[in-house]
Structures are given as structure tokens and as C-alpha cells.
Amino acid sequence: MSTELKVYRLAVCLYPNVTPLDYQGAMELLGGFSTDNQARWGHLYKNRPPCAINPEYLSHTPEPVKPMVGPGLVPSMTYKEALELEDGKDFDIILVPGGPNSDPNKGPKAKHILTVCTGSWVLAGTGLLNGKRATTNKASYRMIVEKTKDFNITWVPKARWVVNDDKHIWTASGVTAGMDLALSFLTFFTNEAFAEEARGIIELSAHKDPNEDEFASFYGLV
């Protein structure tokens, strides 16, 4: 007997000059088995995915968002619309990418919050990182630590990604580290066998040790 597929909702936060690979790399793993994609490509999986993650792309307006590189991105929902969602339709996961125009005064709420690159600076501005460990893009590390010195944040200079004990907040280092974080999160959120299968489909050679971070020494942080 077939069972109904559990569907989770994920919000990707967009803003002008966002770094596309910050979110798109992670979304190849997290959004690759949405309900639509499972209908199209489900035959690629040896085993049925244990759930589906359906993404929405949020921005301040419905107009296309100009990223740091590449064509404009068309959001599927505004932040205002997201705040007005009916009870029971809130997001389960929120992904906050980085970019040169990161706004540290805006931040989301969800059961799981994932940040990539300077997205952790965005989250820091909301107070959600107070009392937490976090990492960020190593090229911007010193600047972000200085900008957030009045917050109670333990910034980790050598880390590909950092996850806090309650699994609520996950922060990745720069850009491509978001894919490593996404794989680790997918392993936690589903199971290792499925996460490995998802990794194999996109042929990702991932860092699986969160402490494996060559860019900490590259930027003289350790």
C-alpha cells in the first residue's frame, strides 16, 4: 500500500546582487526532489525519496531580481505574502544566501534556517545567532566579525560549515560550501542513503568533514 508523501516547504530569500551559486548549488540537492521533479525524474532514484521539498523564491517585489552575475531571477512570492500565509502553511526550511548587498536587518523564521556565505551576517542582524556558533565567507570574515562584535556570536574561523546542537541553524562558509552544508543537512533531514543517492545524481565531490577548510589559512585566519 502506498503512503502519502510528506511535503516540506522551503523559502529561498532573494535580494539584489545575490550570489546565485550560494543558493542554486544547495538547491540542486534540496530542491531536486520536489513533487514536480519527482514526477518528472523519479525513475532516476533507486529508492523512492522519503519526502519532497517544494521551494518558493522570495523577494521584496514580484519584479525580477538582478543577481551579482547572470540573468534576472523571477521570485514566486514576496516577503509580505510570505508573512501573510495561513496557519499551517509556514515554511519548514529557509535558505539565506549571501552577496555584496546583504541586508543585516532582514531575517526569517522557520524550524530550520540555512545560511550560505554572508547570509550568516543577514541572520546575525536579526539576533537569531545570539548565543550560537556560526561561520561565514572567509574573505569577509574579519569585516563581519567586526560588524557583529556587539552580538553574542561565536564566529568559527576554520569551518566549512557549522551546525548548532539543536539543528535549528546551519551556517556555511563561502559560496560552494553551501553544497557541502546542504548535503549534511539532507543527511540529517532524510537519511544517509538517500542523501548519498542525491549526491550521486548530481555527481558532487563533497567535503564531508565540516572542519576541512583550506580557506581559513588562505585568508590568514588560523
Rounded Cα gap, residues 74 and 78, in angstroms: 11
Q: What residue segments make up the domains of the chain, in order of their start? A: 7-218
Q: pLDDT band at residue 109, thresholds of 50, 70 and 90? A: low
What CATH number is given for 7-218 in this structure?
3.40.50.880
Rounded Cα gap, residues 72 and 220, in angstroms: 35
Q: Burial-class residue 88 by CB neighbours within 10 Å (0-12, 13-18, 19+).
A: exposed
Please, are residues 20 and 67 in contact by the beta-carbon 8 Å criterion? yes
For residues 190-216, average pLDDT: 95
Please, are residues 183 and 204 in contact by the beta-carbon 8 Å criterion? yes
What confidence tens digit (pLDDT) does each residue in 21-53 have? 999 999 999 999 999 999 998 888 887 889 999
Least confident window among 32-46, 85-99, 104-118, 156-170: 104-118
Q: pLDDT band at residue 104, thresholds of 50, 70 and 90? A: very low
Inter-helix orientation angle 177-189/192-201, to 10°: 140
To the question of pTM greater than 0.85 for the whole model, the response is yes
What Cα–Cα distance (Å) separates residue 141 from each residue in 64, 87, 121, 190, 205?
30, 38, 10, 31, 25
What Cα–Cα distance (Å) separates residue 12 from each residue in 33, 92, 98, 195?
16, 11, 11, 20
